[in-house]
Amino acid sequence: MKNQGLSESILMAIKALPEDFAFTSKDLSDLADPTVVRQTLVRLNKDGVIRRVLRGVYDVPRYSTFLKEFVPPSPSSIAQAIARAHRWTIVPTGVSALNLLGLSTQVPAKWIFLSDGPSKTISWEGGEIQFLHRTNKEITALSPMTALVVQALKALEQSRINEKVIRTVAGQMTPDQKKAALVEAKIVTSWVYQAIKKICREERDTIA
């Protein structure tokens, strides 16, 4: 009876997760013993309540009325689930960063993330997720949004930073994220910080 109650708590927690949220047993470790959590996830997967995306990573199946099929979670969500399970700090880089900020419509076959964990490549039905080990101040010293913006700007390179890019990135950031970026990004390459100051100009004028 005790395990049944714990299983119900786990199910309720899963149902409360946001859409397109990949998770592992570690995300539910505060609800029950690890063995109970894993057994519950195996059962829920067998019952079709959740879906096993790859070993140890699950999501709640999401049906697309447009595609008329169930769609997998985003590669970013899967990468974040893996990172949380291993306590890695990760940040998308290259085309992956551009895609997430709306600066590119290209969907990469390989999603690349800089990580303070080991280098590793994981294959799944949607392609590949690659973690590249870096001991880099631009990974661990920055909040997730600031780090994402820095990597996207570096992927574009200085010559391609124009007003359209500035407006697009600014539209993806909240006022609080802009204020944080103005403080945090002082440690990054000079031209990248100058671009961030333009992106965050409204908040910069507010705090000046």
Q: Which two tokens stand for residue 36?
A: 């109970």
pLDDT at position 139: 84
User: Long-range CB contacts (< 8 A, 24+ apart) of 15-19?
Assistant: 15/60, 17/60, 19/60, 19/62
User: Quick check: helix, strand or coil at residue 25?
Assistant: helix
On the question of pLDDT at 39 being above 80, the answer is yes
Distance CA 172, CA 75 (A): 19
When pLDDT is averaged across residues 120-140 and rounded to a whole number, the result is 88
Could you read off the pLDDT of 23-35 as tens digits, one per residue? 999 999 999 889 9
Name the band, by pLDDT with cuts 50, 70 and 90, for residue 13. very high
The pairing of beta strand 127-133 with beta strand 110-115: parallel
Determine the residue type at 70: F
CATH architecture of the domain 2-64 equals Orthogonal Bundle (1.10)
Structure token digits, residue 66? 């447009």
pLDDT of residue 1: 43
The answer on pLDDT for 205 being more than 70 is no
What are the domain boundaries of the chain? 2-64, 75-207
| Averaged pLDDT for residues 110-133 | 93
Question: Residue 193: its pLDDT value, please?
Answer: 96
